[in-house]
Structure 1
Amino acid sequence: MSDLLDRRAIRLAEKAADREEAIRRCGEILKETGAVEPGYIDTMLAREQSISTYVGEGVAIPHGTLSGKELVKRDALAVLRFPEGVDWGGEQVTVCVAIAAAGDGHVELLAALAEILLDEDQARELREATDPDKVIQLLGSIQEEKDSNS
C-alpha cells in the first residue's frame, strides 16, 4: 500500500469552503507527495466541470482528465476527510479519495474503491476515520487489487 497511498497523503481534518477548494487541496497533496506535476490540479478541476466525481456515500473521487496523465509521475492516492462536509453540487461530501494514474490504473483503482463504498460499513468507517492507520487498513484492498492485476 505504501507505494500507492503515502501516509503523508492522508489528511483527516481538512476544511474547504466549496468543491473547487476541496479539489485543489486534493491536488496539492498529490503534488506535495511527488505524485503529480502542479498542472495536474487544473486537469482535476476540468474533470469536475465536465462530470461530477461524487460517487455516493459522502465520497467524491477527484481525478484528472486524460490530458492530465502526462503530468502524473506515479500512480497514487490521497485521502482527505472534511469533517464539516463540503457541498458537492447538492450532495454533502466528507471524504475525497483523489487519484493520480498515468496509465489505465485509475480504472482498477476506481473498481476497487467502488467495492469498499458498496459496503455500507466500510463506507461509514472511511467517512468517520480519524486515524491514518484505519484508512490504510480500509484501502489495503485497493493495493491488493492493483498488485494482482500487475
Structure 2
Amino acid sequence: MREVLEARAVHLHEKAATREEAVARCGEVLVEIGAVAAPYVEAMLERERSISTYVGEGVAIPHGMSKEHVLRDAICVLRFPGGIDWDGEPVTLCIGIAAKGDGHVALLAELAEILLDPDRARTLREAPDVEAVMKELT
C-alpha cells in the first residue's frame, strides 16, 4: 500500500451532499495527484451507478473500470465527517482507487483485510490526522 498512497491524497475534512458528489471528489483528488486523466472521474461515477461500492463499516471504495485513463496505480482517502447516505447506509470514509491492469484486485484485497476488521476501520474513520491514516494503511 505504501507505493500507492501519498499523504497529499488523504483529506480528512471533506463535504458532500450525495454519494455522487463524494465519488466525484475522490476522482478529482486522483486527478490532482496525477494518477488519472480527467475522464476517469466519469468512469468512477458510471461504476457507482451500476453497482454500489459500499463495503460496510461506514466505508465505500469507489473506482472506475476505465483503465485507459489511469496513469499510475494510486489510492486516495477522503473522510466525510458529516456522513453521506449511500443507498441507506451511512458512509464517512471513501477510499478511491485507480489501477492499471488488474492492480485493483490486489488493492481491493489488501483494503478489504484492513476494512473488514472493525477496529482498524474505526481507527481510519476516527484518525486525528493524515499521519495516523498513513500509518494504518502503510
Query: Does the 8 Å CA contact 2:2/2:137 hold for their aligned counterparts?
Result: no
Aligned residues with identical type, % of pairs: 64
Deviation at 1:125, TM superposition (A): 0.3
Deviation at 1:50, TM superposition (A): 0.7
Partner of 1:53: 53
**Corresponding residue SS for 1:109:** helix
For residues 79 and 128 of structure 1, the distance between their equivalents in structure 2, rounded to whole angstroms, comes to 13
Partner of 1:96: 94
After superposition, where does 1:12-51 map in structure 2 within 5 Å? 12-51=12-51
Partner of 1:120: 118
The one-letter amino acid of 1:14's match is E
Deviation at 1:2, TM superposition (A): 5.1
Q: Which runs of 5+ in 1 are unaligned?
A: 141-150
Partner of 1:79: 77
The one-letter amino acid of 2:71's match is K
Partner of 1:4: 4
Q: Choose which of 98, 102, 105 in structure 1 pairs with 2:103.
A: 105
Task: List per-residue Cα deviations over 1:76-126 (Å, max 9, x = no partner).
Answer: 000000000011111100000000001111001100111111211101001
**Corresponding residue SS for 2:8:** helix
Q: Kindly indicate which of the two structures has a greater share of residues assigned to helix.
A: 1
Q: Report the TM-score when normalising by structure 1.
A: 0.89
Partner of 1:146: none
For residues 2 and 119 of structure 1, the distance between their equivalents in structure 2, rounded to whole angstroms, comes to 19
Q: Report the TM-score when normalising by structure 2.
A: 0.97
**Corresponding residue SS for 2:137:** helix
- Alignment RMSD (CA, Å): 0.9
For residues 58 and 16 of structure 2, the distance between their equivalents in structure 1, rounded to whole angstroms, comes to 15
For residues 2 and 115 of structure 1, the distance between their equivalents in structure 2, rounded to whole angstroms, comes to 15
4+ residue stretches of structure 1 with deviation over 4 A?
Answer: none
Q: Which runs of 5+ in 2 are unaligned?
A: none
Number of residues of Structure 1 aligned to a counterpart in Structure 2: 138
